Structure 1
């Protein structure tokens, strides 16, 4: 039967762009969950907006470019770029409408009940008005530069995602000419949410005003002698992908630094305008920005929705935020422990954010101060502009260690920070390279070479997530610390390849992209298929951010058809269709959306009762498996392997924060029992961490 089914048929694949929009919808649903603290619900609304911004800046921008140059859309569902853009417009408009409904009809009213009020102009008292006018005159007006439009003042090229106003004017300007429109751009230095002083608020309450409301109220002060007929906010989203020909440039660092200056002025891809803006002004803006009507969004609220996230930090109400927690540290991983001795004794598995990221920083600090350490090598993808990891590497270089750092300059939206940290490391005397031309270095590796008893021993950290202390508190990730000889040799060989560009000799234990990872994962799926056919135990559990790569999807279909149970825990994009009769009956796809962003990549294979567990930096996407440098590492300790298996089973049992994927690409919440046990995997892991440490 299998031979008669074309598993590459477009009908068996969901569209990746729509799948990503569905992820943003699931994030938005957190803003409606009464079990989530109120200010955190506001955060989820803002996160869904930020995600949507990036979606337009990168994915929609890329599709528009493909359409313009006639490049075919080559995703497995075989939908044309033009049709995908149409589908995106329809779903994105629904999503945006729901965002503002959630803000205006749910969150703002609930916040008001709690004494947190965002005051519209209609609710300003005389005292409010007087204070805000003074604030405008002293803090806002001096910074603003309105542009009256005429032949000498053409429509300006506006900064990406900046808050702007189109102003309709009546009367003559200083030179006796009738005026029509003016454009006002609000500098990014200005706060978008202004808190009113305590004396203007009721006791124990918080009162705020949007910057846009203040500018609306006092716009006439900018146009002396003329009357403001209307003032409406709008925002332009631009293509923010850097256009870099890595084959042509001789200095990638300088090229990226130069391109960053142009990022904020790429081609327009979306136009957001206040919903009450008159049609003629909407059409004027649309024409000036070269926007098709499908990419115009009329919004009932602040166009820069994500900026109201400031309320979370401005309001001091712990009862309306997630309960703080202290990250645990296992015995042997404390800051005062001899980490080399502890790792040499046995492997350690760190599970962030439940366990601290501190041991990684402490390990490099100890290495910098240890006279027996000769060299440190590390990859950096997303690390942050101010990183204790980088500070520790700088200290190691200053201490005379051989420090080699592979910095991926092209990590999207972290390019500027990575350019800066590369310069900082070079100034300290570290050897800095920028990965492989045409292949992003996404692997998470740290190697420390230490002389012990006249022999060299390698200490290794391999992870599923970035070396970023801040995100380690909100992203779930695994990290393995080991002194295993063969893993150390494998990691060392990978670093030699990244710096010398030579071929890697056969690997002992690691799988790596773009060479062996894709093929070996397919082989392991085929092994499960063989076991199922022979009646042996067979099962696959995969936990990743995305499942897109067509050959992997087809392999899961083959496994399902052979009777293998396949459980996919996929946070974001999934193009596989579960539950297709005769093809994917045995495949179950779920997504966990909770307090922490699920980021671990884990591959479990039952293997006839001898289970294998692999952790990886790679998702199941073409770019990860075929166009990046990635690693997958086995968890060989029985204790650590069983711990990860128990974590996976906990996520599969989650009935509180899980979403189940249907055949049509939509998700529905997992059934939460009314009387039975309610299971939220992330909460359970926090409880386990608290009990253990």
Structure 2
């Protein structure tokens, strides 16, 4: 292991390839994540996915794009507004980034609706799943829809006329709205030309018609179609001459003053502002007249580049309904329980026998809950400590922690209130646990607590024994069924002592904890990773085999990227499995020709963070809560833990690395020019779907 002292500032960047201009070595972060969303969109046309799953990928793309505009585009717009003309590492100014985003996003949205209208909806209709347009309704269905509008929809609608007494309303972020053109006078004799009708979020966006009106087929009507058909009923004595859907996306990032006295109270105040942040995108239907969308653009202070005209519903993210067609979905599977846990009477005895590796979603998340449940009810257990990043108040984990506190255990919960879009839920979790008697802390001001750790302290024969769980993913049972993650159950004394010291660091005050086996951000993780890469460089320079494999969600940190370039130039073989953002350019002669980058997009969201350094045959394998990003390495509390059991190391190497490197069904490779290319099965190769291989293995 190299002992070279590396700066933690992330500011000193070494020039490793003088033949390449600075901006030629990096891919723009925002454009890279947008490329990931495009790879998700392509799943909607992939015949390897069942039809309803293809529809789901289409909707996931909508949700991803929403967040991309709310956070990433909003951030670049803010830079432009502040007059920041500084270049990003790839050499682009904020204006250039926004122009590139606009071009790609407009093309992607147009493709999304073509896929919906030309492929998904016709294939659904072949399966008797229909979204009926107004002109397709039978008289009986039209009558039912009219009654539904009168009884279920109209009572909760609030039409707002636009006149000097009623200025344009403040509309909630991503809400479905209608701008209505009117003819005639209202009850007060006023000539009103425009009105806005917000659709309450309490109303379902997809309404299924009764079976007796459809011969038992799954026929649906969009809420937007129902409102369009009967919008005139909202304006008695007047005529609606036009009705057009629109939706505005707003800046949803939260800005908190680090000097706040109470983080929870400050967050509550900021959450309401998220709903009414600065507009960043306007969506309208294609039939919306130019004078109408120009009027809306002016109201939201947007230009035409931020306008998206769509051929269908403007809120696709809420299109999915509970379709009863199992054959159009993935086959169900039951995550397995490791044999060692099945054979043991309690999880404590199983953990004392050996380290236990859990690979979600293929293996069940239930052992993590079992650990907490047994701890909550075991009279020998004295204390439980846990970090929580995304866990709702209704989750079983939170309920068990509350039970443990009520049972007299010393429960400490380090809750990260600032987990994006889960702030309100996390405040509710904090309140629930506090009411149960747990000690709740919010971590370190200025640093998000992103580490995934549980520590249980149990008295056994007058000695205190520690049991720990460390993971790469959140303590969220729902996510554990759709995200790939690793978790380690261990009683290793050094690891458990390290976890204990990190909890002390989070809840108390003092100097940086000195750890024996764990690396943790923002202190030692970054420098240790650089040191591991340096070791492989030295091995390669000595003429020995050197290999690095990194599987993370994102790679953006420049010192690590430059160190990987240096390793490639020294002859180190480097395989990067990056789910989404990758700012490194592979395959550039003299710079990165020994680096391969691939991305796996499939049924499950790839979420494991795991690193391999060959180390002359005595490999280092580490799992972590951290991606290779500035925020994770310098602005968050993260934990990185070794896999030391030889059997478990072999499992990760074969299943977590080689398996994914063989994938030729769900894999994409990154080219040096920044483009992604779908991997094709080569002549003589067998199809290899990494996630299906794991499903079959664990079955």
Give the TM-score, by structure 2 length: 0.96
Q: Give the superposition deviation at 1:154.
A: 0.4
1:362 corresponds to which of 356, 370, 393: 370
1:119 aligns with 2:128: no
Counterpart of 1:683 in structure 2 is: 692
Q: Which runs of 5+ in 1 are unaligned?
A: none
CA contact (8 A) 1:525 1:559 kept: yes
Q: Distance in 1 between matches of 2:503 and 2:277?
A: 35
Counterpart of 1:186 in structure 2 is: 199
Q: Give the superposition deviation at 1:403.
A: 0.6
SS at match of 1:207: strand
Q: Give the superposition deviation at 1:536.
A: 1.3
1:529 corresponds to which of 513, 533, 537: 537
1:412 aligns with 2:430: no
1:242 aligns with 2:242: no
Counterpart of 2:349 in structure 1 is: 341
CA contact (8 A) 1:332 1:339 kept: no
Q: Distance in 2 between matches of 1:185 and 1:125?
A: 28
Counterpart of 2:234 in structure 1 is: 222
Counterpart of 2:157 in structure 1 is: 144
Q: Give the superposition deviation at 1:232.
A: 0.3
Counterpart of 1:426 in structure 2 is: 434
Change (3 A) 1:490 1:6: farther
Counterpart of 2:660 in structure 1 is: 651
State the Cα deviation string for residues 274-329 of structure 1 (Å, max 9, x = none): 1110000010011011111111101110000111122xx2x111100010000100
1:261 corresponds to which of 265, 269, 272: 272
Counterpart of 2:263 in structure 1 is: 252
SS at match of 1:188: coil
1:211 corresponds to which of 218, 223, 235: 223
SS at match of 1:572: strand
SS at match of 2:320: helix
SS at match of 2:319: helix
State the Cα deviation string for residues 344-393 of structure 1 (Å, max 9, x = none): 11100000000000001110111111111111111000113421111111
SS at match of 1:323: coil
Q: Distance in 2 between matches of 1:252 and 1:140?
A: 39
SS at match of 2:459: strand
Counterpart of 1:56 in structure 2 is: 69
Counterpart of 2:602 in structure 1 is: 594
1:284 aligns with 2:292: no
Q: Distance in 1 between matches of 2:431 and 2:308?
A: 41
1:97 corresponds to which of 92, 104, 110: 110
Q: Give the superposition deviation at 1:667.
A: 1.1
Q: Give the superposition deviation at 1:504.
A: 3.0
CA contact (8 A) 1:352 1:476 kept: yes
CA contact (8 A) 1:335 1:358 kept: no
CA contact (8 A) 1:272 1:299 kept: yes
Counterpart of 1:130 in structure 2 is: 143
CA contact (8 A) 1:529 1:564 kept: yes
Counterpart of 2:477 in structure 1 is: 469
State the Cα deviation string for residues 422-452 of structure 1 (Å, max 9, x = none): 0000001111000111000000010011111
1:571 aligns with 2:584: no
Q: Distance in 2 between matches of 1:333 and 1:417?
A: 32
Q: Distance in 1 between matches of 2:522 and 2:648?
A: 27
Q: Give the superposition deviation at 1:4.
A: 5.7
1:233 aligns with 2:245: yes
Q: Distance in 2 between matches of 1:652 and 1:67?
A: 40
SS at match of 1:309: coil
Q: Give the superposition deviation at 1:673.
A: 3.9
Q: Give the superposition deviation at 1:78.
A: 3.2
Moved more, 4-13 or 39-48: 4-13
Q: Give the superposition deviation at 1:635.
A: 0.1
Q: How does 1:78-97 map to 2 (within 5 A)?
A: 78-97=91-110
CA contact (8 A) 1:7 1:557 kept: no
State the Cα deviation string for residues 490-546 of structure 1 (Å, max 9, x = none): 111100000113223421000000000001100100110110111112100000000
Moved more, 193-202 or 41-50: 193-202
CA contact (8 A) 2:393 2:399 kept: no
Q: Distance in 2 between matches of 1:73 and 1:370?
A: 58
Q: Distance in 2 between matches of 1:667 and 1:501?
A: 46
Moved more, 121-130 or 267-276: 121-130
Counterpart of 1:272 in structure 2 is: 283
Q: Give the superposition deviation at 1:469.
A: 0.3
State the Cα deviation string for residues 441-475 of structure 1 (Å, max 9, x = none): 00001001111121111111000000000000000
Counterpart of 2:8 in structure 1 is: none
Moved more, 168-177 or 183-192: 168-177
Across the aligned residues of Structure 1 and Structure 2, the Cα RMSD in angstroms comes to: 1.4
Counterpart of 1:293 in structure 2 is: 304
After TM superposition, which residue ranges in structure 1, 4 or more long, deviate above 6 angstroms?
A: none
How many residue pairs end up in the alignment?
A: 685
Moved more, 327-336 or 137-146: 327-336
Moved more, 75-84 or 484-493: 75-84
SS at match of 2:427: helix
Counterpart of 2:10 in structure 1 is: none
CA contact (8 A) 2:385 2:503 kept: yes
Q: Distance in 1 between matches of 2:501 and 2:15?
A: 41
Q: Distance in 1 between matches of 2:318 and 2:102?
A: 23
CA contact (8 A) 2:244 2:285 kept: yes
Counterpart of 2:681 in structure 1 is: 672
1:581 aligns with 2:589: yes
Counterpart of 2:9 in structure 1 is: none
Q: Give the superposition deviation at 1:74.
A: 6.0
Change (3 A) 1:19 1:373: same
CA contact (8 A) 1:164 1:234 kept: yes
Q: Give the superposition deviation at 1:65.
A: 1.3
Q: Give the superposition deviation at 1:333.
A: 2.2
Change (3 A) 1:305 1:389: same
Change (3 A) 1:333 1:342: same
SS at match of 2:226: helix
SS at match of 2:582: coil
Q: Give the superposition deviation at 1:686.
A: 0.5
Q: Give the superposition deviation at 1:405.
A: 0.6
CA contact (8 A) 1:335 1:362 kept: no
SS at match of 1:512: strand
Q: Distance in 2 between matches of 1:546 and 1:7?
A: 23
Change (3 A) 1:225 1:336: farther
Q: Give the superposition deviation at 1:676.
A: 3.2
Q: Distance in 2 between matches of 1:341 and 1:323?
A: 35
Q: Distance in 1 between matches of 2:523 and 2:130?
A: 56
Q: Give the superposition deviation at 1:73.
A: 5.0
Give the TM-score, by structure 1 length: 0.97
